[in-house]
A and B are shown apart, each in its own frame.
Chain A
Amino acid sequence: MKEENKSASGKGVMGGIIFFAGFILALIIGWVVFPNLLYSQKPQPMNFNHVAHQDSSCEDCHAFRADGTYAGIPKVEKCKECHESPMGSTEDERKLVEEYIQKDTEIPWRIYSWQPDNVYFSHAPHKAKKVECKECHGIMGSEKTLPAYKDNRITGYSKETMKMIVCEECHAERGVNNECELCHK
């Protein structure tokens, strides 16, 4: 009887250690290994230096259209206004001028906040309600290099794509309608 107890408690300590080691391992896999495996990093076609464009305001390039939709990233036409021929000597600008402006093709930017097909989002109400750009997009004006684009291997969406819970929380905090169809189409 006594011996059985002893071996049982010995087993308990060993079991505890194995459980603890397994627990730590699971945490490492869950917090470090899996998130790194889930996202693959994809390069942007070139770097864009927001700091170098400080002489123009945000709205010069990121503007609303007359029908209330938001233009997002400007077309190569916009770049052409200043960069018809290189203004500086960076490799990125050479690429812009030679590969896109001179060939008149659009730059295939990867869009960080691209939403799924069934999501409707309009910048107009958010601008009217004085939500600042940086609240969702971060302070882009001081970015010298573009942030890494992380692609979810399963869904194919960017890591920066806003999750529904973030939209819902902000709407709830501000007392805005949270009905499904407000953002789903």
Chain B
Amino acid sequence: MSEAEHAKSNVLYGMVIDLDKCTGCTACSVACQAENNISFLADDSNKVRSITWMEIYWLQNGKEYPDYQFTYLPRPCMHCNSPHHSPCTFVCPVNATRRDETNGIVSHIYPRCIGCRYCMVACPYHARKFNWYDPSWPQTMETMLSPEVSTRMRGVVEKCTFCHHRLLAARARAYLDGTELNTVTYTPACAEACPTKAIAFGNLKDANSDVAKLSKDQRAFRILEKLKTEPKVYYLSKHQWVHKLGDKGLSA
């Protein structure tokens, strides 16, 4: 990959998650698990080795009642937009993970991955998970796997793809209908499943899109913004302590 700035493109997919609307129901996480054929472990209570692309964090302000407050924070891959490279694409020795210059999505190609896990170390968001075991599902679930997403083998890293297969399907439809490709939008499984509509998804470069407007909202912040990784996942919260926790350990 060249060291030049990102190529100019009219499409930049991003996500805005409204923490004030999130109830922590984990429907997004479950929908993601089903949509993307994420496998089960024999012991899924082992959170060091279990796999999820949409982790739900529980944050609290650490104060005593009546000032006590808490919030949930769903965390997909941030699809970092930093110039030249995302942290993960920079360290990958085999080009298995790359940022698509046309839409900003950071992809990961499993058969190319050698499982060195540099990207997991480089990712400041812990968005990447490693397949420690052969993938397995309860027998009845094997027939329900989605053919749109390939399953991963033992020894490779995986992460959220912004439901890239849904983009491809939407683009195929647009080709047949003759729709302008730059206007193609789609909804990832997590946003679709969210009962409170806390997750918005769309084109950040399109000034009229929900995500473009929300990302400029006063409540908007990004996690670990000071690292200059330029995440494309924005969060909304009216609480300053949540904004502060978003930069935890990096306070100026």
Contacts and interface: CB of A to CB of B under 8 A. Distances in A.
Sort chain B's interface into a size bin: 20 to 34
Contacts of B107: 179-181, 184
B173 A181 contact: no
B151 A69 contact: no
Given A118-B111, A177-B102, A180-B98, A185 B150 contact: yes
B152 to A, nearest CB: 9
B186 to A, nearest CB: 12
A126 B97 CA distance: 26
Interface string A3-21: 0000000000000000000
Interface string B136-180: 000000000000111100000000010011001101110110100
Given A117-B150, A118-B110, A184-B107, A67 B169 contact: yes
A68 B172 contact: yes
Given A117-B150, A120-B168, A122-B168, A180 B109 contact: yes
A124 B171 CA distance: 9
B149 A67 contact: no
Interface residues of A, number: 19
A166 interface: no
A127 B174 CA distance: 12
16 contacts: A64-B176, A68-B172, A68-B173, A120-B148, A122-B168, A122-B171, A124-B175, A124-B176, A127-B176, A128-B176, A177-B100, A179-B107, A181-B100, A184-B107, A185-B148, A185-B168
